Amino acid sequence: MNPSTFDFVIIGAGSAGAVLANRLTANGEHSVCILEAGPEDKTPMIGIPGAFSYFMFSKKYNWNYDAKPIKDIRNGQPIFVPRGKTLGGSSSTNAMLYVRGQKEDYDLWESLGNPGWSFDNILPYFKKAETNSRGASDLHGDSGPLHVTDRPVHYEISNVFIKGAEQAGFPLTDDFNGHSQEGVGFYQCTIKGGQRCGVSRGYLKPARSRSNLTVITLAQVSRIIIEDGQASGVEYVEQGQTKVVLANKEVLLSGGSINSPQVLLLSGIGDSEHLAMHNIDCKHHLPGVGQNLREHVDACILVNSKKRDGFTSSIGGILGMVPDTLNYIFNKKGKLANSILEAGGFIKTSPELATPDVQLHMVPLLFDDNGRDLKLMRDHGYSCHVCVLRPESTGSVTLASNNPLDKPIIDFNFFSDSRDQKVLVDGLKQVRRIMATPAFDEYRGEEFHPGSAAQSDEDIFQGAKDRLGTVFHPVGTCKMGNDEQAVVDHQLKVHGIGKLRVIDASIMPTLISGNTNAPTIAIAEKAADMILNGS
Ligand SMILES: Cc1cc2nc3c(=O)[nH]c(=O)nc-3n(C[C@H](O)[C@H](O)[C@H](O)COP(=O)(O)OP(=O)(O)OC[C@H]3O[C@@H](n4cnc5c(N)ncnc54)[C@H](O)[C@@H]3O)c2cc1C
């Protein structure tokens, strides 16, 4: 049977791929096929905002990667790297916080040799994507597919955190995506009517009735077919069978920061020595593929609570959720209608900094190991996570073998640049200042991690490393630019290969100062415009 041919073949139906599928089929002029390795997003758990941690245990909807272990970090245990594996990708399993980063992040991208990527250039795409419940403004949209809402606060410790931060002298903000990012406050979330609003719901579902869109799930792309220096189609595995689809116009790779470089390498695009090591025919030597991996390295302070009003994973705690579960089932309201992450902030570890350098995620429970440490969560407590907003350390994603079904090697290489260590430790010290304010008096029990004995910078750093994690924001592995390590140009076209673009979080040359879902969606909105305008 001859392979089917489409104008565009999109690899991966995640935050970027789903946006492309919608925008490229809207005018009816192009045929599009989108291939997704994961299953349909049919489980009701995806819709429930409070069920975020469920996906940390899912084998079906999560790629469940582990990073390469580092001796001194987590006692040699690997850092877990969850990635969404279903329609909507990681936007179907993420924590739903709506954050864009700082204006300066995008202005930096432009100054690195990427015309058209300054904040002023990308702002229209943030607005185009967004329906903000507060209405339209110079910075916000009110008619996009992505619903962004204010959430009622359910955990008193979230209010206590804001009060404590104010008492510690930090400014308050009611919009992390306003003219200035700095401050502590409550996160807006991508939630509509008490249900998750990821890109599957926002972008893909409305487009699925279009006859020019074909969606194939459980289809893992094994390689892009390159002929005469151009991408002509892709090979994928569906139920153990290898199949091919062809692209008349372009192949658009949107597999995310771990899988996009893997697919390029498997296709013979990457460092020629690395490809030779795995007996892969080199189609184009592009040494930056899989390099420049950046991630928000994260550490936490865990404190036992004197009050018993938070969430715990004990039998009592779970039984205590019964009224909330009923409230959710019947009204789509209550704790389950919200992200567990209610409050947080973007603060400067030192007043002379121009912009915040750490982000805080306040969690109303004892949250560690990505929520997989259920034993820890049995006790009442709270935790504040601190991540380095613009890490200098870079790592890599490389192949373990030439088998597409083998997991790639993820090496975060954390703290290879010692500046990240200082920012992280200084951030943890600021959180301790917040937690020492009178606002916390009624709640403060024992700080059991890193523990009150950890006072020197060295001890705080060791404590951070013992429970080190990430905020699930890997980027940069197919970076945009025109230097030796760049993989795509400013139009997201792969250097040296025709008819092939990478469009997802992997193209970010540097990590933006915040959560990466909205920025990835904006990147895809901009890319769709470029494609439709013929650039
Ligand atoms: C647990 C978690 C919590 C997060 N919380 C937040 C948050 O609160 N706020 C925020 O802004 N960001 C958050 N993020 C980050 C954000 O969701 C991601 O940055 C964003 O979704 C990345 O989009 P992407 O398109 O690059 O990749 P993804 O959305 O991951 O999409 C990639 C898609 O490609 C598919 N795919 C991969 N390889 C192949 C292949 N070979 N063949 C076919 N299909 C393939 C995948 O299955 C997936 O569906 C979180 C992420 C995670 C994992």
Question: Ligand 1: does its nearest atom lie under 6 Å from the Cβ of 518?
Answer: yes
CA contacts within 13 A on the Cβ side of 77: 10
Contacts of 88 (CB under 8 A, 6+ apart): 13, 14, 15, 18, 41, 46, 198, 199, 200, 201, 204
Residue with CA nearest ligand 1 atom 49: 89
Distance from the alpha carbon of residue 70 to the mean position of ligand 1, in angstroms: 24
Question: Ligand 1: does its nearest atom lie under 6 Å from the Cβ of 13?
Answer: yes
Q: How far is CA 497 from CA 43, 228, 232, 264, 285, in A?
A: 39, 9, 11, 11, 10
Q: Do residues 531 and 26 make contact, with C-beta atoms less than 8 angstroms apart?
A: no
Q: Which two tokens stand for residue 534?
A: 């013929």
Residue with CA nearest ligand 1 atom 38: 255
For the CA of 56, the closest atom of ligand 1 is: 1
**Confidence (pLDDT) at 174:** 97
| Nearest CA among 499, 487, 480, 501 for reference residue 285 | 487
Distance from the alpha carbon of residue 63 to the mean position of ligand 1, in angstroms: 10
Q: Do residues 161 and 431 make contact, with C-beta atoms less than 8 angstroms apart?
A: no
* 200 secondary structure, DSSP code: I
Residue with CA nearest ligand 1 atom 23: 15
Question: Ligand 1: does its nearest atom lie under 6 Å from the Cβ of 89?
Answer: yes
Question: Ligand 1: does its nearest atom lie under 6 Å from the Cβ of 505?
Answer: yes
Distance CA 131, CA 149 (A): 8
- Other Cβ atoms within 10 Å of 217 Cβ, number: 17
Torsion sign over Cα 259, 264, 270, 272: positive
Distance CA 487, CA 263 (A): 13
- Is 473 labeled as catalytic in the residue annotation? yes
Distance from the alpha carbon of residue 91 to the mean position of ligand 1, in angstroms: 6
Q: Do residues 338 and 49 make contact, with C-beta atoms less than 8 angstroms apart?
A: yes
**Confidence (pLDDT) at 379:** 87
**Confidence (pLDDT) at 373:** 82
Distance from the alpha carbon of residue 338 to the mean position of ligand 1, in angstroms: 20
**Cα dihedral 65→367→196→26 (10° resolution):** -40
Residue among 94, 254, 503 to mutate when testing ligand 1 (max atoms within 8 A of CB): 94
Q: Which two tokens stand for residue 385?
A: 């996570």
Distance CA 50, CA 86 (A): 19
Torsion sign over Cα 198, 203, 206, 207: negative
Q: Where are the beta strands (DSSP E) in 123-210?
A: 130-132, 146-148, 183-186, 191-192, 195-196
pLDDT in tens, the chain (535 residues): 778 999 999 999 999 999 999 999 999 999 999 999 999 999 999 999 999 889 999 999 999 999 999 989 999 999 999 999 999 999 999 999 999 999 999 999 999 999 999 999 999 999 999 999 999 999 999 999 999 999 999 999 999 999 999 999 999 999 999 999 999 999 999 999 999 999 999 999 999 999 999 999 999 999 999 999 999 999 999 989 999 999 999 999 999 999 999 999 999 999 999 999 999 999 999 999 999 999 999 999 999 999 988 888 888 888 888 999 999 999 999 999 999 999 999 999 999 999 999 999 999 998 888 778 888 888 899 999 999 999 999 999 999 999 999 999 999 999 999 999 999 999 999 999 999 999 999 999 999 899 999 999 999 999 999 999 999 999 999 999 999 999 999 999 999 999 999 999 999 999 999 999 999 999 999 999 999 999 8
Distance CA 133, CA 126 (A): 15
**Confidence (pLDDT) at 25:** 98
Residue among 41, 90, 512 to mutate when testing ligand 1 (max atoms within 8 A of CB): 90
Please tell me the pTM assigned to this model: 0.98
Contacts of 359 (CB under 8 A, 6+ apart): 296, 344, 345, 346, 386, 387, 389, 471, 513, 514
| Nearest CA among 92, 33, 79 for reference residue 414 | 79
3-state secondary structure of 475: strand
| Nearest CA among 84, 64, 63, 108 for reference residue 17 | 84
**Confidence (pLDDT) at 3:** 87
Distance from the alpha carbon of residue 266 to the mean position of ligand 1, in angstroms: 20
Question: Ligand 1: does its nearest atom lie under 6 Å from the Cβ of 82?
Answer: yes
Which residue of the set 274, 361, 385, 473 is catalytic? 473
Distance CA 70, CA 76 (A): 5
Distance from the alpha carbon of residue 42 to the mean position of ligand 1, in angstroms: 17
Distance CA 244, CA 4 (A): 8
**Confidence (pLDDT) at 376:** 83
- The residues with which 306 forms a beta bridge, in sequence order, are none
CA contacts within 13 A on the Cβ side of 6: 26
Q: Which two tokens stand for residue 331?
A: 């009204």
